[in-house]
Amino acid sequence: MARHLEIAVIDDDESFRVALVESLCSLGYGSSGYASAEDYVRVMGANPFNCVVSDIHMPGMSGLDLMKHLAARGSMTPVILITARSDANLEAKAAIAGAVCLLRKPFEIDELTTCIEGAVRD
């Protein structure tokens, strides 16, 4: 990793979110966790992030809804979607929404960092 990157992690599963934030920090990334997409939206202007990692299925605003919201605001921040579900057509929905990757839980941290680095490449 050649430069410092700030990663937002959005997941309603607290233990998963905390573990992912800690893993990213241990690898040299800056990382902040949010329990919901709404929590992230409230602070996103104050905290610039290089990439967002968001669960798809959450109460309230879903990860796909978050992507629509970000697009409507003109955000160019890349989004990586994650899910524990195996619903049909999720890859297509994620691609249409503009996600740079869709990872299925459980995934290896190397898979995520590969997505992050690819998403922020200049």
* Contact in structure between 60 and 38 (CB atoms under 8 Å): yes
Residues in the chain: 122
Q: Where are the domains of the chain?
A: 6-120
Per-residue pLDDT, 3: 63
Taking residues 36-48, what's their average pLDDT? 89
Q: What is the DSSP letter of 32?
A: E
* Contact in structure between 78 and 119 (CB atoms under 8 Å): yes
Q: For residue 98, count other CB atoms closer than 10 A to its CB.
A: 13
Could you read off the pLDDT of 86-114 as tens digits, one per residue? 888 999 999 999 999 999 999 999 999 99
Could you read off the pLDDT of 55-73 as tens digits, one per residue? 999 999 999 999 999 999 9
Confidence class for position 8, pLDDT limits 50, 70, 90: very high
Question: Which fold is adopted by the domain 6-120?
Answer: Rossmann fold (3.40.50)
Confidence class for position 122, pLDDT limits 50, 70, 90: low
